[in-house]
Each structure stands twice: as C-alpha cells, then as structure tokens.
C-alpha cells in the first residue's frame, strides 16, 4: 500500500467539529485511486468564510466566500516544480461555514459535506475541472465513484 503525506490544518474554532481522520483517509484514497506516486502529499486547510473570501478575491477576483479552493503546485503550462517538491500536489482550502450551510441545504451532515469537498478539492489538484460540460460530467462521475467507495 502506498504512503501519502496529508497535512491537516483546522482553524481552532472548528477543531471539535472536523472529522480529521475521515478527511485524511479520503484524501489518501483519492491519491491511491488516481495512482499517485508513493510519498505524494497535499494539505487540507479548514478556514472560515472571511479567510476563504480573501483568498477567492485575491486569486480568482471573486469577492465572495466559496466552499472550496484548490491550489495545485503543477498549475499552468510554464510551471516548474523543484525536484525535492515534485510530490507535493498543493493545498485544498475549505470553508467550514459554507460547508455547514450547504450541508443544511442538502439535508446531510457537515461531515458528509466536508468529505465531498475534500474529494472535490483533491480531484482539482490532480487536474480535474468542471469549466466545460464534458469535463464537468467526468469530474462529477469520478467524485461520486470515489465517495461511494
């Protein structure tokens, strides 16, 4: 079995409400299912709406909170990653507040919503996208498949 480096950072306010072990296992499962090399890693950061809104404004020119952002280290055609960092895939940033609201709207637990957003963010780090309809269909299908496992 492959070993993956998953770093979790949870804003203290949400520490008791975030299923860290579950999210870590999910991220590891996504990397294994997507056949990432042994030692590959990523960070999952749980923040509030204010923090994700600032990131969304800075990096996407959207002045609003969002549920998840993914910052891939290998993004862009001219991206050069130093060899010692080649296995680091990037950061998944999740807003706990937005995840909580979406969970209420969908009628499921916050843990389930955080799980969905973790898988979604990991897939973005691995190159999945949903900007075009064909890409979106592929990404949603893979996301559903991974969550079912």
Which residues have a Cβ under 8 Å from the Cβ of 9 and sit 6 or more positions away? 43, 44, 45, 46
pLDDT digits (tens, 9 = 90+) for 35-88: 999 999 999 999 999 999 999 999 999 999 999 999 999 765 454 545 555 589
- pTM of the prediction? 0.90
Q: Give me the CATH topology for the region 5-148.
A: Collagenase (Catalytic Domain) (3.40.390)
Three-state SS at 51: helix
């Amino acid at each position: 079995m492959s070993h993956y480096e998953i770093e979790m950072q949870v804003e203290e306010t949400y520490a008791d409400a975030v299923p860290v072990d579950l999210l870590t296992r999910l991220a590891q499962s996504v990397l294994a299912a997507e056949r990432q090399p042994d030692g590959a890693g990523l960070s999952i950061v749980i923040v509030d709406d204010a923090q994700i809104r600032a990131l969304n404004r800075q990096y996407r020119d959207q002045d609003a909170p969002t549920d998840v952002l993914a910052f891939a280290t290998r993004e862009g055609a001219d991206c050069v990653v130093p060899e010692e960092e080649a296995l680091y895939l990037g950061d998944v940033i999740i807003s706990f507040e937005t995840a909580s609201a979406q969970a209420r709207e969908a009628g499921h637990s916050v843990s389930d919503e955080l799980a969905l957003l973790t898988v979604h963010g990991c897939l973005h780090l691995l190159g999945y996208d949903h900007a075009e309809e064909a890409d979106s269909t592929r990404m949603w299908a893979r996301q559903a498949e991974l969550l079912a496992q």
